[in-house]
Amino acid sequence: MNHDYADASKWRGTTILTVRKGGKVVVIGDGQVSAGNTVMKSAARKVRRIIDGKVIIGFAGATADAFALMERLEVKLEQYPTQLARACVELAKDWRTDKVLRQLQAMMIVADKKETFVLTGNGDVVEPDIGKDGGGITAIGSGGNYALAAARALDGYEKDAEKLARKAMEIAADICVFTNNNFVVETLDE
């Protein structure tokens, strides 16, 4: 079977999960990048810190597109240093209205000590639901729904945000062929 590796719709490979619980926010991502049914890379780093480590980004989709968006978000955060929501909305507006940016194929989860947002090229800036203890759980990517379901199921049983996130990602990696267990984890204390 021949693959058109330039066709971004054929590329799969990310599960990003965010858990906000017990005074911590954890962003965890797997390392797999796939093209069709071929694993192209097993240890990609799709979770990163920006703005002197104060903001964590997890991205899904085309890597170059995600990096372009990450750089633009950094610029927005420099303009609005204490306003993560505003910076995300401003990026989403640019992403939606700019001819070049509109072509970018990526999604991002962005979190700081107080807030978490999911950003998409459709102009979405979504804040996840708040859980029982004031936290929130959200996920994106190929295995995102598996990780999200697992994290929600474990939420009442696991008090530690990082342990919960790791276990949920292990479950997603067991189910989703586009997700592996080479995790990158970044944590902030609220």
Four-point Cα dihedral 127, 130, 135, 136, nearest 10 = -50
97 is catalytic: no
Q: Which helix (H) or strand (E) holds 115?
A: none
- CA proximity to 80, closest of 93, 67, 69, 89: 89
Residue 11, SS3? strand
Q: Which helix (H) or strand (E) holds 3?
A: none
Catalytically annotated residue among 14, 18, 116, 138:
14
Measured CA to CA, the distance from residue 56 to residue 167 in angstroms comes to 20
Give the active site residues. 14
